A = this chain, B = another copy of it.
Amino acid sequence: MDIDVTVTIGGAAGQGIQTVGDLLASVCHRAGLYLMVINDFESRIRGGHSFMQLRISDEPVVAADDKIHLLVALNRETFDIHAGELAEGGRILMEEDGAGGSDEALHVVDVKFTNLAEKAGGKIMTNTVAAGAALEMLGAPAELVVKVIESHFGGKSKSVLENNLKAIQMGRDAVANTDFDWHFKWPDRKPAGKMLSGARALALGALAADCRVASFYPMSPATEILVYLAGFMDRFPLVVEQAEDEIAAINMAIGASFGGVRAMTATSGGGFSLMVEGLGLAGITETPVVVINAQRPGPATGLPTRTAQGDLFFVIHAAQDEFPRFVFAPRTLDEAFETMIRSFHLAEKYQVPVIVLVDQYFNDSLSITREKWSVPEKIERFLVSDADMPDPSSYKRFAYSESGVSPRAVPGAGRARVMVTGNDHTEEGHLSETIADRNGQVDKRHKKMLKMAEEMNGPDILFGDSRLLLVTWGSTDGVVREAVNRLRKEKHDVGAVFFSDIWPFPTAPAMDALSGCEGFLTVELNASSQLGGLIRRHTGLQADGAIVQYDGRPMKPGHVVARTKQYMEGGQ
C-alpha cells in the first residue's frame, strides 16, 4: 500500500462528527481510494464521547488500524482519550493549543473551528471547517472537495451551500502548508466500488432477494437495516412494518411467508430472545423466514451500541427441542449482499428459518464493495400450485418425501387447502399425537439436514498449510486477515481459517482445514471461544488457545498479532 492513513474524528454526540466523517469518506471514495470507516458511539443522543475512524488506502482495507495519523478533536475530551493513540509523526487538529503541556500537545495544529465557522456564516458549520482542515492535511484536490460539498449540500438552500463552501475553504486555508507525513498524492480514479455500511448491504440483499414483508421492532444495531429498506416501499412490492414487539415481528414475518411472500425480520440479541419461540414455530411449520441477529454485548441490555460475537451457540440452539435451520455469518459487504440472496433462496428451498448473524461493528462500519453486485434474474420460489397436483383437494402440506421437503402451496392461491399447525401433525397438517406422525414428521424434517449440509461452504482459507492457523468467523475476518499478513511479513508461519457458513456445521471441510496444522488459535469477540467449542464438538479438534475480547470494541490487528506472538513464544 502506498497510501495508508488513519483519521479519527472525535467529539460529543450531536457535534456533527458524522458529517465530518461522511465528507471525508465521500471525497476519498470519489477519488477512487479504498476505505474502512468504523463508528464508535455511546447509547445517548447528545454529549458523551463518540468517534469515527477512517482508514484510507489505495488498496482494499479490511480492518481498522491500531494507530491514528490524523486526529480531528472537536472537543478537549477527544484529545484526552485519543492523543495517546497517535502514530509517530501524527497530528491533531483542534481548537485549543494549550493542550495541557502534555507530550502530545506538540502535535497539535491549532484550528479555530468555531471562530472560522462563525465567520463562514454560523457555528453550525464547525464540522465543515474541520472537514476542510482534515482534507487539506491529506492533500485532497480542491475540485473534488468542492464537488462533494456541492452534492452533500446541494439539496439545501443556496446560502447553506455557499456558506459551507466558504467554511470548507476556511478550514483548508487554516492548515495550508502544515507539515504532515501522511499528506499524499491523490489518485484520479473512478470509485473503486460502492461505499456503504454493512446494514445497508444486508438491506440491499433483501431487496435483491425479492423480500416483500419485513417486520421489525427497533433495536440497535439492527434498526438501520430495515429503516434503510423502508425507503424502498414506494418503488417496490414491499412493506416494512414496525411491530409492537419482537414477538409480533417474527410472527408477522411467518404469517407473511405462509401467506405467500418472502419475509424477514431483524433484531439484536434481546429481541432475538423474544423471537425464540417463533423461530421454533417456523421450524415445525416449515415456514421459510430470514432472521438477522445483529450482535451486541449482553446479556440483557448490555452495551447497546457496541459490538460482540457472543450469540453463536445461542442462535444454533435457540428454541425448545430440535429442528433444522441455517446460520450464516457474512464477513464482508459483498458476502452480506450475497448471503441475503442465498438465505432467502435456501429458506424457501428447504422451508426452514435462516439466521444471519452479524454484529454492530459490521452493521455500522462503512467500506467499499469489491465485486459487482448482480440481482438474480428470476426468483425460484419452490412453490406448488393446483396444476402440480393430481388432486388439489387432497393436497398434503407435510407429505413425506425422499428429501424431507414437502410440497408448499399458498393458501387461497388455488383449490388446495393449506393446513398448518405448530403442534405435531399428520401429513395433511392436522393435529396428531401418534408415534407414527411424530416420528414421521421429525424424521422428515431432520432428513432435510443432510441436503442442507451439502449446501454449506467450507471455511475460507489463507495460507492453510501454515504451522499455526488463526480461526475466526463473521466480521472478525478482516482483522485476522490483516494480522496474518503482518505476521507473515515478519516471517511467522501463520495462516488463517474463516468461517461464514456456520450451521449445519461444515464438519468435513473444517476437519480438512484444521487437521494439517501444528496448532490453531480461535479469534472471537466472546469470552468462552464459542467457535472453538463448536469445532471441538463436531471435529474433536481442540484449539491450542483462544484470542478473545469482550469489551464491546472491534478487535484490532495489532492485538491479534501481539497475542499470536505471545502464544508462539509459549506465553499463552
Contact = CB atoms under 8 A, between A and B. Distances in A.
Interface in A267-287: 268-270, 272-274, 276-277, 279-281, 283-285
A314 B318 contact: yes
A439 B550 CA distance: 7
Nearest to A421: B301
A536 B527 contact: no
A322 interface: yes
Interface in A517-552: 526-528, 533-534, 536-537, 540, 542, 550-552
Contacts of A311: 320-321
Nearest to A434: B551
A280 B298 CA distance: 8
A273 B284 contact: no
A484 interface: no
12 contacts: A295-B320, A298-B320, A299-B322, A299-B323, A299-B422, A302-B422, A306-B433, A322-B526, A438-B550, A442-B527, A442-B550, A533-B537
B526 A321 contact: yes
Contact of A300 (B303, B310, B423): B423
Contacts of A279: 299
A173 interface: no
Nearest to A49: B433
Nearest to A272: B320
Interface string A322-353: 11000000000000000000000000000000
Contact of A301 (B308, B422, B536): B422
A119 interface: no
Interface in A49-102: none
A304 interface: yes
Contacts of A272: 320
A565 interface: no
Contacts of A427: none
Given A302-B284, A317-B317, A320-B310, A297 B527 contact: no
Q: What class of interface size applies to chain A in its complex with B?
A: 35 or more
A357 B283 CA distance: 22
Contact of A283 (B300, B422, B433, B435): B300
Interface in A435-473: 435, 438-439, 442, 446
Nearest to A40: B433
Nearest to A533: B537
Most chain B beta-carbon neighbours within 10 Å: one of A281, A295, A308? A281
A43 interface: yes
Contacts of A537: 533-534, 536-537
A313 interface: yes
A160 to B, nearest CB: 34
* Count of this chain's copies in the oligomeric assembly: 2
Contact of A438 (B295, B304, B534, B551): B551
Pairs A-B, 7 closest by C-beta atoms: A269-B320, A280-B299, A298-B321, A300-B422, A310-B321, A273-B277, A537-B537
A277 B277 contact: no
Interface in A404-426: 421-424
A183 interface: no
Given A270-B277, A527-B442, A536-B536, A314 B303 contact: no
A553 interface: yes
Contacts of A317: 313-314, 316-317
A299 B283 contact: yes
A319 interface: yes
A212 B44 CA distance: 38
A419 to B, nearest CB: 15
A4 interface: no
Interface in A244-300: 247, 268-270, 272-274, 276-277, 279-281, 283-285, 295-300
A162 interface: no
A317 B536 CA distance: 16
A476 to B, nearest CB: 16
A22 interface: no
Contact of A540 (B300, B528, B536): B536
A42 interface: yes
A269 B273 CA distance: 13
A316 to B, nearest CB: 8
Most chain B beta-carbon neighbours within 10 Å: one of A296, A439, A534? A439
A277 B303 contact: no
A281 B302 CA distance: 9
Given A273-B318, A280-B300, A314-B317, 8 more contacts: A247-B274, A269-B321, A272-B320, A283-B299, A299-B319, A310-B322, A313-B316, A442-B550
A439 B303 CA distance: 12
B300 A438 contact: no
A536 B537 CA distance: 5
B528 A320 contact: no
A484 to B, nearest CB: 25
Contact of A273 (B276, B301, B303, B305): B276
Given A433-B43, A439-B551, A536-B536, A299 B321 contact: yes
B284 A319 contact: no
A308 B526 CA distance: 31
Contacts of A280: 269-270, 273, 298-300
Contacts of A533: 537
